[in-house]
Amino acid sequence: MNLTDHLQEQVRLAAERGTPLAIRGGGSKAFYGRAVEGEPLELAGHRGVVGHEPTELVVTARAGTPLAELEALLAEQGQMLPFEPPHFGIPLPGPLPLAGEGGKDASRPISIATVGGMVAAGLSGPARPWAGAVRDAVLGVKLLNGRGEVLTFGGQVMKNVAGYDLSRLMAGALGTLGVILEVSLKVIPKPAQVLTLVQEASAPEAAARLSAWGRLPLPISASLHLDGRLHIRLSGTGLGVAAARNAIGGEAADDAVWAGVREQRLDFFRAEGPLWRLSLPPAAPALDLAGATLAEWGGALRWLRTEAPAAKVRAAAAVAGGHATLFRGHDGTGEVFHPLPPAALILHRRLKQALDPEGILNPGRMYAEL
Amino acid sequence: MLAPEILAEFAALLGPERARADADTRALYARDETPRSCTPEAVLFPASHDEVAGLVRLALRHKLPLTPRGAGSGNVGGALPAPGSLVVSFECMNRVLEFDPDNRLVVVEPGVVTDDIDRLARSKGLMYAPDPGSGAYCRIGGNLAMNAAGPRAVKYGATRDHVLALRAVTGAGREIRTGSRTTKYATGYDLTRLLVGSEGTLALITEATLRLVPAPERIANLRVCYAGNRAACEAIIRVMRQAVVPSALEFMDRRSIEAIRAYGGAEGLPEGTRAVLMVAADGAHDDVPRQIAALEKALAGEGLIEIQSGFTEEEIARLWTARKSLSMAVKKIAPLKINEDVVVPVTRLAELVEAIDAMGRRHRVPLVAFGHAGNGNLHVNIMVHQDDAEEMERARACRRELVETVMRLAGSLSGEHGIGSEKRGFLPLEIEADTLALMRALKQTFDPQGILNPGKKLPD
Ligand SMILES: Cc1cc2nc3c(=O)[nH]c(=O)nc-3n(C[C@H](O)[C@H](O)[C@H](O)COP(=O)(O)OP(=O)(O)OC[C@H]3O[C@@H](n4cnc5c(N)ncnc54)[C@H](O)[C@@H]3O)c2cc1C
């Protein structure tokens, strides 16, 4: 259903009255970022794939389209989203929940994540360092700015240098710059073969191997290091995968581990307490902090469970050349993302001002100042 | 002429050798690859980030516009001096600040030549993937400003996809760092992506952290001849639909083949060839033949005349002779080429090529189309004689129709060359008024006094 007019009216009214809006897709990533106090703006009803032909390498969907529905549609055509987005809408443990409110469509198991929320959160799954992030796949965006005007950025072509690249600015902006109405995404054909391998490795050993493999043209499409075991996924042509298997070594393992890490269904993620998401140079040594670590993305993404004070975690990440996000296990009132340097913060404020002059769109979701 | 006392201030900052207002220097920097020129007031050659920050502050104080410049190889007037402006040439900022093969990254100043980055990467088994045709001399700052791309983009992406972090000075004189050394993941808004492709209108880039990828062990090529444009375009769609992504997928249309024939470069092209695809695969040694087999399967279909493969350097060079002769062959048609670098969804490529054929006939101007077809990116060259006013008028009408056709096919004005001064007039055809207004607000945010590259990128 196309709810553009209705949503536009809501945003216009809110702008007039200066009412903050809390934008909501499926609510699957409500835990991510800071808490927003505002009138809910519901996008879930604004749904539907508006353009996808089997011959196209692009799909255009409204923001409220369930991510599972989009992925199922692509899978029918042998296609997929390159960045393997996490859904996070799936309760732990147990089977996938049923579709919609109260599962009206009981035949279709589905998560609650929506396409708009996926783009706004900008989170990507295990394939990200090799296949690109959400924002790399965003070709165009239609959105409502903070005045309720409909704006279109980019389009459906792979390359486009007309105007400024505003569509990608929306990926990861957590709805603070606009209400995403519709998005065009690049899709890719599914690989012919996928193989998961596992081998014993300490953290330094894993880093050394990943670094060596990283310089070879191997079809690696995911990595996971946890508890002295290194999982590697190979995706490609049959022969390419077989050859890479010989080069890498290890035992074949269950592919399900990737969905487990992507959806944070592994035991590692179930513990109580703060969960940090560290973005580090892939070869950076383990941070000197007490706690458990799970490493993905060839070492560039580390999940850290620690009780260490936030300032200490952030400082350690910064010294290592990266930054830290407090992902789960916080109350949504403190700092979640790495603080911005003053010059950057000024620019961020001005950008926010340009798109949302009244400051009504998800205020404070990303930073208290935005 | 710049007032001597102001020039002296720049000279005090940069040294007299690197703040020049002599006629020879100014003449040398009066143009890029666009057939147009405008002599700047002075040319500045900063050698460090701090000097760039300093000169922006001086320019702000004296309200002087700046025209950033890499190698001047751009063909849309990006580095064409605005009247009354000072050129900021980055050629003295040509140091590699750090090369970290373990983290597969390199930190460079903007004046480093693109191919030199690739060469450095290859010394450790890595490569810098973006490969614009001008790579031997264009500079990374120009690539970043234009989001340059080459044939490999179909597999590896454009410059944008290889930037981890930037350091820059905005038009307000603010010194910023965007992105981080980690895998393109930044905190806050993605300012990196905003600066890439902004054509020097938002900030001067002083440092870039670039991502490197493993160099392929081996490359192989296919030259595929078709009976017509449509057959080739349909093959492109088949290729892009299957799982093996080629590392190049270049198209030459019927007119290109005719031009090559007339020039005498078509030796080896079989009888009846009216369109050609050049296809490449790269990767691990044993995997490349397998990829080639998959590509051959996808390329076969109605209208196929011949597929030839090349695995050795000599074989590959032989397959490329026709393609390599194209730019010389095109010059034979007429002295001036008006180059449009349009892009449409791959599935609309056949329609575009057909429309181009028809409009060339209707406007009676030779149109030659070739390019990075895997991305839907075509270079459409309108061949004209500059001194023939009537022909130039027809060319103008044809160009307008081309742009309108591209818009109708849900395409874009430019895939890689940028907008510069030459295409900004067309921008309102592609971007709606409200969105353009927002882009202006964005420009205002970064460059409130409008000193950075005025007259480029956005329409007046
Ligand atoms: C023979 C030939 C082949 C080409 N092939 C390709 C191709 O395959 N693909 C492609 O994409 N392009 C191609 N081009 C176009 C051109 O080479 C590219 O646009 C290239 O990126 C320009 O780099 P440059 O160093 O020459 O920059 P310039 O032309 O000097 O400048 C380009 C733009 O960058 C800005 N700029 C330069 N440095 C900075 C900086 N440090 N900070 C901010 N702004 C800056 C300038 O103001 C200008 O707007 C080709 C050109 C030629 C002549």
Average the pLDDT over A127-141 and give the result: 94
Is A19 inside a domain boundary?
yes
Q: Of all atoms in ligand 1, which is nearest to the CA of residue B67?
A: 47
Note whether A40 and A173 are same-domain residues: yes
* Domain spans, chain B: 4-89, 96-214, 218-324, 334-447
Work out the minimum CA distance from A272 to partner chain B, whole angstroms: 25
pLDDT band at A108 (very low <50, low <70, confident <90, very high): very low
Q: Is CATH 3.30.70.2190 correct for B218-324?
A: yes
Quote the ligand 1 centre to B143 CA distance (angstroms): 5
Span B375-393, pLDDT tens digits: 999 999 999 999 999 999 9
pLDDT for the residue B134 = 95
pLDDT for the residue B281 = 97
CATH code of the domain made up of B334-447: 3.30.70.2740
For A32, the domain range is 4-189
CATH code of the domain made up of B96-214: 3.30.465.10
Helix (H) or strand (E) holding B443: helix B433-446
- Checking if the pLDDT of A106 tops 70, the result is no
- Checking if the pLDDT of A101 tops 50, the result is no
Work out the minimum CA distance from B125 to partner chain A, whole angstroms: 6
CATH number of the domain to which A33 belongs:
3.30.465.10
How many pairs of residues across A and B have Cβ atoms under 8 Å apart? Answer: 251
Q: CA B314, CA B328: separation in Å to the nearest integer?
A: 22
In this structure, are residues A324 and A313 in contact, taking their beta carbons and an 8 Å threshold?
yes
- Checking if the pLDDT of A334 tops 80, the result is yes
Overall CATH class of domain B4-89: alpha beta
Span B212-235, pLDDT tens digits: 999 999 999 999 999 999 999 999
- Checking if the pLDDT of A104 tops 60, the result is no
Ordered strands of the B336-343 beta sheet: B304-310, B218-226, B275-283, B248-252, B367-372, B377-384, B336-343
Span B64-91, pLDDT tens digits: 999 999 999 999 999 999 999 999 999 9
In this structure, are residues B391 and B385 in contact, taking their beta carbons and an 8 Å threshold?
yes
pLDDT for the residue A102 = 33
Q: For atom 53 of ligand 1, which residue has the closest CA?
A: B73
Tracing tokens 């050049």 back to the chain, one arrives at B278
In this structure, are residues A224 and A255 in contact, taking their beta carbons and an 8 Å threshold?
no
Three-class SS string for A283-312? Answer: CCCCCCCCCEEEEEHHHCEEEEECCCCHHH
Same fold, B218-324 and B334-447: yes
Work out the minimum CA distance from A285 to partner chain B, whole angstroms: 12
Is A177 inside a domain boundary?
yes
Burial environment of residue B61 by CB neighbours within 10 A (0 to 12, 13 to 18, 19 or more): exposed
Query: Could you report the predicted ipTM of this complex, rounded to two decimals?
Result: 0.90
In this structure, are residues B158 and B147 in contact, taking their beta carbons and an 8 Å threshold?
yes
Quote the ligand 1 centre to B197 CA distance (angstroms): 10
pLDDT band at B183 (very low <50, low <70, confident <90, very high): low
Span B88-139, pLDDT tens digits: 999 999 999 999 998 899 999 999 999 999 999 999 999 999 999 999 999 9
Average the pLDDT over A274-297 and give the result: 93
Q: CA B360, CA B355: separation in Å to the nearest integer?
A: 9
Quote the ligand 1 centre to A67 CA distance (angstroms): 39
- Tally of domains in chain A: 3
Query: Is residue B303 within 6 Å of ligand 1 at its C-beta?
Result: no
CATH number of the domain to which A313 belongs:
3.30.70
Q: Of all atoms in ligand 1, which is nearest to the CA of residue B32?
A: 29
In this structure, are residues B281 and B288 in contact, taking their beta carbons and an 8 Å threshold?
yes
Option in A192, A300, A323 nearest B187 (CB): A323
**Boundary residue ending a domain (A159, A189, A219):** A189
pLDDT for the residue B184 = 53
Note whether A184 and A197 are same-domain residues: no
Burial environment of residue B302 by CB neighbours within 10 A (0 to 12, 13 to 18, 19 or more): exposed
Average the pLDDT over B346-353 and give the result: 94
* Partners of B44 in the β-ladder: B19, B88
